[in-house]
């Protein structure tokens, strides 16, 4: 990690006025606030009292309600807008669906609630129609923008390996999932059929917004392809949760919290079938002496690329688990990590029952991953100094960081999920290396041959080879060049060509009515360009010229597009606008989570000081890979970084680990 970052990030945005965060049916979720830079961020502790976040004492809130049964949660029907229980009781453990994390706003961060917003909605009709140019004409063709501004050029990252890219997708899936987006199989709504022809639905079904193929498309035009399928996101409006003329708010269907919902599920309906109900474990299937996730009973739908009903097709806490092989490798690692922790706790605490073991293992696991995310992974993307400066991390803190702020809404910002974090699709490599234990290249597989087909992981020793490949292969550079595997061949199934992820991201931004590039810069407190020329402060002359040739007006320029063209802030992997959004998001994700692992304000939910130190000392990406591979014996200590003389391979048993004896419950009170 580089220590000498200088960023030009503006002061972070923080809305600490709770009245701006009304929740409840109907008027719920209106989170558009008068944003502007604040002179200095005051950490707010407890209920509005400012306090030193590093202090070890915190106000304890007492509640008269009896504690709920362990793991109690509410399982919302999918067609709600986030149903929280009528009242909250304090629990030592997070609920599965995040309800009552915030005791005053129980639905904050729950599945089926809308994304948050920094900038105003920008729908063409002010309510729900896809964004258009100011003139009322359509915006430039999304596929055309992808072809023109985001071509394939294989520039690779000199420092960070493919694991950095891949872990990003894990984190993305932990935090949000656009309602109605299916990545595991064909969408039941066909606006554009498998042959690339527009269907009758296009004119009749309001959720259809297919991507049209421009006549000059070098890949698809010669095939006679007219379109790619695109189905609009489910919103509060579709579900009757917003007033008729209020803007439709796109919904996310997983918990917003960094709580490993992708492992445990975001509802009881998801978490129940994947629990073993024995020893606190998650369910696994043993094949070839190794543990794999349970089989998805709907293989023909979930893993449509499978060529036999007997092929593996995994069931996990997240429906996207089978989407691409490397994502699945990390999902399997996380499943095994839970069981490893549960098994160890069971040894130390034979008197704990299944429920206690499950919840305690889940709690430690989430803490471990939060630590890896904030102290090992995010500094690569956001810049270490930037994170310190904006109070996202406290390196070297001797004890708790009591910065939980119940006035901060942990919802995932639409600007984050639909624009800024998706920028890291640029890091994807289309060919995945398989690497042996002595780090020799064995083979490479083409990603598009293995979308939604996890069979690959179970062939011979491919699981470990893929995992080692993640740590040896360079990720693609954070730039405007995208790998053709995801811009020409996405989910190609048995066809020659497939979808375009970049064009899809652009269309999704329009579908969600994201504020323009200029409006978002303004919302971030960055200088708002008044002309194309003004954009030269962050974007190269060449790219500004292309923007000017494609868009009618600078006000029409889109966040998804221009944000990805900005020069990187030194020390970070994003330009100033995306960095602002990412920093704001991960600040909210931290201080808006009552269960954040460094928070010690409430003794009922806090780790002991020594447990916290053990997590800080022992949690690492390297350890996750070592402990949960089939037979990975050595790893570089900084597993997001390429192997180098400063980051040499070491035997796994020389890496620090979390000392779980600290969870030996001598009092036996569970």
Per CB under 6 A, does 363 bind ligand HEM? Answer: no
CB of 320 to ligand HEM, least distance (A): 8
The SS3 call for residue 273 is: helix
Which residues, including other chains, have CB under 8 Å from residue 493's CB and lie 6 or more apart?
Answer: 194, 304, 305, 451
- Select the residue interacting with ligand HEM from 142, 367, 428, 544 (CB under 6 A): 428
Binding residues for ligand HEM, total number by CB under 6 A: 23
- Select the residue interacting with ligand HEM from 108, 257, 424, 489 (CB under 6 A): 424
Per CB under 6 A, does 161 bind ligand HEM? Answer: no
Q: Applying CB under 6 A, which part among 419-427, 517-525, 556-564, 644-652 lies near ligand HEM?
A: 419-427
Which residues, including other chains, have CB under 8 Å from residue 613's CB and lie 6 or more apart?
Answer: none
Compose the 439-478 pattern: x for residues touching ligand HEM by CB under 6 A, - for all others.
----------------------------------------
Question: Of residues 238-297, which lie at the interface with ligand HEM (CB under 6 A)?
Answer: 252
CB of 561 to ligand HEM, least distance (A): 15
Per CB under 6 A, does 183 bind ligand HEM? Answer: yes
Per CB under 6 A, does 425 bind ligand HEM? Answer: yes
Q: Which is nearer to ligand HEM, 160 or 384 (CB)?
A: 160
CA 338 and chain centroid, separation = 20
The single residue of 21, 173, 338, 512 carrying the catalytic annotation is 173
Q: How many Cβ atoms sit within 10 Å of the Cβ of residue 87?
A: 10
Q: Applying CB under 6 A, which part among 10-18, 45-53, 414-422, 608-616 lies near ligand HEM?
A: 414-422
Question: Of residues 473-502, which lie at the interface with ligand HEM (CB under 6 A)?
Answer: 486, 501
Locate all alpha helices (DSSP H) within 501-575, ordered by sequence: 501-511, 517-523, 541-550, 559-563
CB of 402 to ligand HEM, least distance (A): 29
Instruction: With beta carbons less than 8 A apart as the criterion, state whether 13 and 577 touch.
Output: no
Q: How many Cβ atoms sit within 10 Å of the Cβ of residue 51?
A: 17
Q: How many Cβ atoms sit within 10 Å of the Cβ of residue 654?
A: 10
Structure tokens at 578: 């995306």
Q: Applying CB under 6 A, which part among 149-157, 164-172, 352-360, 523-531 lies near ligand HEM?
A: 164-172
CA distances from 95 to 98, 101, 113, 508 (A): 5, 8, 16, 30
Angle CA 370–376–379, to nearest 5: 105
478/113 Cα distance (integer angstroms)? 31
Q: Using CB positions, name the residue nearest to ligand HEM.
A: 168
Per CB under 6 A, does 178 bind ligand HEM? Answer: yes
Q: Applying CB under 6 A, which part among 199-207, 217-225, 423-431, 620-628 lies near ligand HEM?
A: 423-431
Instruction: With beta carbons less than 8 A apart as the criterion, state whether 481 and 152 touch.
Output: yes
CB of 280 to ligand HEM, least distance (A): 30
Has 425 been labeled as part of a binding site? yes
Per CB under 6 A, does 427 bind ligand HEM? Answer: yes
Decide if 173 is catalytic: yes
Q: Applying CB under 6 A, which part among 425-433, 454-462, 592-600, 631-639 lies near ligand HEM?
A: 425-433
Per CB under 6 A, does 210 bind ligand HEM? Answer: no
Per CB under 6 A, does 113 bind ligand HEM? Answer: no
CB of 142 to ligand HEM, least distance (A): 11
Q: How many Cβ atoms sit within 10 Å of the Cβ of residue 668?
A: 9
- Select the residue interacting with ligand HEM from 165, 339, 564, 583 (CB under 6 A): 165
- Select the residue interacting with ligand HEM from 504, 516, 589, 620 (CB under 6 A): 504
Question: Of residues 507-566, which lie at the interface with ligand HEM (CB under 6 A)?
Answer: 508
Per CB under 6 A, does 91 bind ligand HEM? Answer: no
Per CB under 6 A, does 421 bind ligand HEM? Answer: yes
Long-range CB contact pairs, 449-452, < 8 A, 24+: 450/305, 450/324, 450/325, 451/305, 451/323, 451/324, 451/490, 451/491, 451/492, 451/493, 452/183, 452/184, 452/185, 452/302, 452/303, 452/304, 452/305, 452/306, 452/322, 452/323, 452/491
Q: In three state form, how does the secondary structure of 400-445 look?
A: CCCCCCCCCCCCCEHHHHHHHHHHHHHHCCCEEEEECCCCCEEEEE
- Select the residue interacting with ligand HEM from 422, 453, 594, 623 (CB under 6 A): 422
CB of 373 to ligand HEM, least distance (A): 12
Per CB under 6 A, does 156 bind ligand HEM? Answer: no
Can you say whether the dihedral through the CA atoms of 158, 562, 388, 108 is positive or negative?
A: negative
Q: How many Cβ atoms sit within 10 Å of the Cβ of residue 47?
A: 12
**Residue located via tokens 């296009």:** 202
Q: Which of 251, 261, 110 is nearest to 171 (CA)?
A: 261
- Can you say which residues are annotated as belonging to the binding site for heme b? 425
Annotated binding site: 425
Residues in contact with ligand HEM by CB under 6 A are 165, 168-169, 172, 176-178, 181, 183, 252, 323-324, 417, 421-422, 424-425, 427-428, 486, 501, 504, 508
**Which residues are marked as active site?**
173
């Amino acid at each position: 990690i580089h220590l000498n970052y200088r960023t030009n990030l503006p002061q972070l945005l923080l809305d600490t006025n709770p009245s701006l965060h009304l929740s409840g049916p109907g008027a719920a979720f209106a989170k558009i606030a008068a944003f502007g830079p604040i002179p200095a961020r005051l950490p707010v502790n407890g209920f509005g009292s400012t306090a030193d976040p590093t202090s070890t004492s915190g106000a304890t809130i007492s509640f008269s309600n009896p504690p709920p049964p362990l793991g109690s949660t509410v399982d919302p029907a999918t067609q709600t807008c986030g149903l929280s229980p009528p009242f909250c009781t304090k629990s030592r453990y997070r609920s599965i669906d995040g309800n009552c994390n915030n005791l005053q706003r129980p639905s904050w961060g729950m599945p089926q609630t809308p994304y948050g917003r920094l900038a105003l909605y920008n729908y063409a009709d002010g309510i729900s129609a896809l964004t258009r140019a100011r003139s009322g004409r359509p915006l430039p063709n999304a596929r055309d923008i992808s072809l023109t501004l985001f071509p394939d050029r294989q520039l690779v990252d000199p420092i960070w390996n493919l694991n950095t890219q891949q872990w990003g997708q894990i984190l993305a899936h932990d935090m949000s999932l656009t309602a109605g987006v299916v990545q595991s199989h064909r969408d039941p709504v066909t606006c554009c059929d498998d042959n690339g022809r527009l269907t009758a639905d296009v004119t009749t079904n309001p959720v259809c917004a297919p991507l049209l193929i421009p006549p000059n498309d070098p890949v698809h035009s010669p095939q006679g392809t007219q379109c790619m399928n695109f189905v609009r996101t489910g919103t509060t409006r579709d579900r009757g949760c917003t007033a008729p003329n209020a803007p439709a708010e796109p919904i996310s269907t997983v918990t917003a919290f960094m709580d490993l919902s992708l492992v445990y599920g975001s509802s009881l309906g998801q978490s129940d079938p994947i629990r073993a109900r024995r020893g606190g474990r998650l369910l696994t299937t043993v094949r070839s002496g190794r543990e794999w996730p349970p089989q998805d009973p709907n293989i023909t739908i979930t893993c449509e690329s499978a060529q036999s009903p007997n092929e593996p097709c995994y069931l996990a806490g997240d429906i996207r688990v089978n989407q691409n092989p490397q994502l699945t490798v990390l999902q399997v690692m996380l499943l095994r990590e839970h069981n490893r922790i549960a098994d160890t706790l069971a040894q130390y605490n034979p008197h704990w029952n299944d429920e206690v073991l499950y919840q305690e293992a889940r709690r430690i696991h989430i803490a471990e991953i939060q630590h890896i995310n904030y102290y090992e992974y995010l500094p690569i993307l956001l810049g270490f100094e930037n994170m310190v400066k904006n109070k996202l991390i406290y390196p070297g803190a001797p004890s708790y960081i009591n910065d939980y702020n119940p006035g901060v809404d942990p919802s995932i910002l639409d600007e984050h999920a639909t624009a800024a974090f998706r920028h890291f699709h640029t890091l994807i490599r289309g060919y995945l290396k398989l690497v042996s234990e002595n780090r020799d290249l064995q083979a490479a597989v083409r990603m598009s041959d293995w979308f939604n087909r996890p069979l690959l992981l179970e062939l011979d020793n491919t699981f470990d080879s893929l995992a080692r490949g993640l740590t040896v292969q360079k990720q693609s550079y954070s730039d405007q060049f995208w790998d053709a595997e995801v811009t020409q061949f996405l989910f190609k199934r048995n066809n020659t060509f497939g979808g375009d992820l970049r064009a899809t991201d652009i269309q999704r931004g329009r579908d969600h009515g994201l504020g323009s590039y200029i409006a978002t810069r303004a919302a971030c407190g960055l200088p708002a360009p008044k002309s194309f020329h003004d954009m030269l402060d962050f974007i190269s002359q060449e790219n500004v010229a292309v923007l000017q040739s494609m868009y009618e007006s600078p006000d029409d320029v889109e966040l998804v597009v221009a944000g990805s063209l900005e020069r990187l802030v030194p020390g970070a992997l994003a330009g100033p606008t995306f960095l602002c959004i990412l920093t704001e998001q991960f600040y909210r994700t931290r201080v808006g989570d009552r269960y954040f692992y460094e928070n010690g304000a409430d003794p009922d939910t806090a780790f002991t000081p020594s447990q916290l130190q053990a997590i800080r000392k022992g949690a690492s990406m390297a350890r996750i890979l070592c402990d949960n591979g089939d037979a990975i014996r050595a790893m570089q200590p900084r597993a997001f970084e390429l192997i180098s003389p400063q980051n040499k391979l070491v035997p796994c048993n020389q890496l620090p680990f979390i000392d779980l004896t600290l969870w030996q419950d001598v009092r036996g009170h569970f």
